[in-house]
Every structure is written in C-alpha cells, then in structure tokens.
Amino acid sequence: MPLLPPASRIHRTARSRLRRASGAVALVAAALLGTVVPSHAGTPGGGDGGAGGTDSRPGHRDRPTVVLVHGAFSDGSAWRGVIKRLRHQGYPVIAPANPLRDLAGDSAYIASVLRTIEGPVVLVGHSYAGAVISNAAAGDPDVKALVYIAAFALDVGESTETISEAFPGGEVSEAVVPVPYTRPDGGTGTEFYVRRDRYRQVLMADVPRREAALMAVYQRPIGLAAVTGVSRAAAWRTIPSWFLVAREDRALSPAAERFMARRAGARTVEVDAPHFAHVSHPGPVARLITDAAEHTAHAARLPDGHDRDAQDDRDRPGAPVAGRRAAQAPVA
C-alpha cells in the first residue's frame, strides 16, 4: 500500500479537508500541503483547551487565525516563543514553511495557504517575509492586519536589495556564503547561507550561544531570486499594519525599518533587540500581534466599519508610535 494517496486525489481534496477538519485530521491534511498547523489551527475560534483543540473561554471563539511567516536563514520553529504566548491567549496559529526561492513564487505559495483558512487572518512576516506578506495579502479580504517584525514592507517596484542599498549598515552581505543549487528545470541557481561563525553576531547577538549555534546548523538558505525579486503589490496601502523596529538590528538597518513603518502608516514599537527579535524577545512581538488582532476586531464591530477610537489609542500615554501615511517614490 502506498504511503500517500495519488497526487490527483491530494490536490482535489486537500482544500475541502482543511476547511472542515479539526484536531488530528487537520494535522494530516496540512502535512500534505507542507504547512505546520497546530491541532486547532484553521478551526474558527479554536484555542488550546479541550480534546478537540477548541477553547471554551468567553471571547476566544471569534479570534482571528495568526499566520506567522519566517524569513531567511530560519524556519517556522523560530516562532516557538511567540506561538506559545499566542496559543495561551486562545489564538489559532499557523507557521507555514516559506520556500525562500523567489518573491513571486513565495508570495503565491503563502497566498495559497491563506485560502485554506476560514475567517479573519492576522498575517505576520519577519525580515524577507515582510515582502512576501505584502504581496500574498493583496486582494484577500480575510487578511485584516499585517504585522512586520524587523521586516521589509516593500512598495511596488522595490526589492529587498534596493532597500538595503538605500539604507546601508547591514552586515549580512559580508557574512553570507553563496552556494549553487540545481533548479527543477535543470538550470543552476544560487542560494545564500550565513556563515556559522557570524550567525549569532549578525542575527541574534543577545541569544545564548548554544541556541544560536543550533539555529545556524538548521538555517534555511534564501535564493538570489528572492533577494532581487521586485514587489508587485503593497498590501499595507489598504490593510492596517503594525511594525516592530529592532534597534540593535545588524542585518537590516533600523533606519530602513523606521522609513518603511512610517511610509506604511504602521503602529510602531521599538525594542532593543537584534534582527531575530521574535526569538530573543517573543513577549513584545506577541503583544504587538495581539494588539493588531484586538484593534482590527474592534474596528470590525463598529457599524460604519471604521475604528473611531484609533486616534485616541494612538494618543494615549505609552501607546506605540503611529506612522503617517505618505506617498513615497519607490527606492531605486
């Protein structure tokens, strides 16, 4: 008996199974699609309590699904501290594998993952994944908030390369090693790893050495086409956004992060953290995500569809710094 059913049956039934399934069935169906789905993910209102992955606590049944997309030199496990906190609060969470091959293909893949989810979504991206979510969310009415964690919030026509060139100071270019690989069409592509002896210094200087060394071993490389790929959409222009600026970032200039956050009109917080802020500071990252989820849920409940308390929230003491929406020319 074959290990998996025929490919045609997988493609024909995977989406319907994901929409209906819960518990163990959701895990199996998601595995066929290459996603990482906790037992309650994709189930409207799913939480951490009960055998079926549902949560009986009041107010937890209508929570949006949080989709966490990792960037380069990492994988979904880097979100584990954030996932633990979000699940504790009753949020369904999915951390799909970002292919890291090329911006157009990666964005299309994440968009396909979003189509398997019922109900509202808070879409989160770290680093390069910021460019991915900005494209993947375009035109998707279920994505209610975008959250950028030390990420690229690109405009149309920009690439991660052009932003990095416009805001120098990152140390990644001096720490990566190019490695050739064979593409499915038989051609040769190039992907990049961060040298193990520079991994902690450049990406996560405040993480214990042993943990950083392990992450350096199982880091996932990023393809050249992902770095140079031009953004075809800027979903932050129509979807409310939140941004975490990592003040101690050595991979992406904090000045670049502030520029992109301000341009997007994002609610912004700054943390004394390295590029992998979600690894070393999962608490502030999780709080920013829940703020986005709660704010958009509140806005959705208003009769006119607008959040009348938005400006009041921005002005209250201790609130995140709000950016201003302003038209900006693409960085050349």
pTM: 0.76
Name the strand (E) or helix (H) holding 194. Answer: strand 188-194
- Please name the residues in contact with 303: beta carbons below 8 A apart, sequence gap of 6 or more: none
**The pLDDT value given to residue 296:** 82
As a whole number of Å, the CA-based R_g of the chain is 19
The amino acid present at 147, given as its one-letter code, is V
Quote the percentage of the chain above a pLDDT of 90.
Answer: 69
Cα(159)–Cα(232) distance, integer angstroms? 10
Residue 92 pLDDT > 70, yes or no? Answer: yes
How is 200-216 classified by DSSP, letter by letter? HHHH-TTS-HHHHHHHH
Closest by CA to 296, choosing from 248, 216, 239, is 239
How is 211-255 classified by DSSP, letter by letter? HHHHHHHSPPPEEHHHHHPPP---GGGTS-EEEEEETT-SSS-HH
Residue 141 or residue 4, greater confidence? 141
**The pLDDT value given to residue 300:** 67
**The pLDDT value given to residue 51:** 28
Split at pLDDT 50, 70, 90, the class of 303 is low
Angle at 69 between CA 68 and CA 70, to 5 degrees: 120
**The pLDDT value given to residue 62:** 76
Residue 325 pLDDT > 80, yes or no? Answer: no
For 113-140, what is each residue's pLDDT tens digit? Answer: 999 999 999 999 999 999 999 999 999 9
